Amino acid sequence: MQQSVRQAVHRVVVLALPGVYPFELGIPAKAFGLAYSADGRPLYEVLTCTTDGRPVRTSEDFAVTVEHDASVIATADTVVVPAVVDPLGGGEPAAEPAAEPAAGPPAEPLAGLLTTALAELRPGTRLVAICTSAFVLAAAGRLDGRPATTHWLYADRFRALHPEIPLDPSVLYVDDGDVLTSAGSAAGMDLCLYLIRRDHGSEVANRVARYCVVPPWRDGGQAQYIDRPVPEPSGSDTAGAREWALHQLHQPIQLAELAARAEMSVRTFSRRFLAETGQTPGRWLTTQRLELARRLLESSDLPVDQVAERAGFGSASSLRGHLAAAIGVSPAAYRRTFRGRTAQGHTDQGRTDQGHTHPGRLSPSRPSLSTP
Tens-digit pLDDT profile for residues 159-200: 999 999 999 988 899 999 999 999 988 899 999 999 999 999
The full set of domain ranges for the chain reads 2-212, 232-344
Q: How far from 327 is each of 21, 282, 347, CA to CA, in Å?
A: 31, 18, 19
> Which of the 8 DSSP states describes residue 155?
H
pLDDT confidence of residue 108:
56
The arrangement of secondary structure in 232-344, i.e. its CATH architecture, is Orthogonal Bundle (1.10)
Phi and psi at 78, nearest 5°, equal -140, 135
> Which CATH code is given to the segment(s) 2-212?
3.40.50.880
Return the pLDDT at 298.
85
Those residues of the chain that have pLDDT short of 50 are 1-7, 91-107, 228-235, 342-372
Kindly report each contact of residues 1-10 with a partner whose C-beta sits within 8 Å and lies 24 or more positions away, as own/partner.
Answer: 5/41, 8/346, 8/347, 9/42, 9/43, 9/44, 9/45, 9/347, 10/43, 10/44, 10/45, 10/77, 10/78, 10/199, 10/347, 10/348, 10/349, 10/350
Q: Which residues contact 68 (CB under 8 A, 6 or more apart)?
A: 13, 47, 48, 49, 50, 53
Q: What is the pTM of this model?
A: 0.66
pLDDT value for 67: 96
Cα 313 to Cα 318: distance, rounded to the nearest angstrom: 6
Would you state the pLDDT for residue 130?
Answer: 97
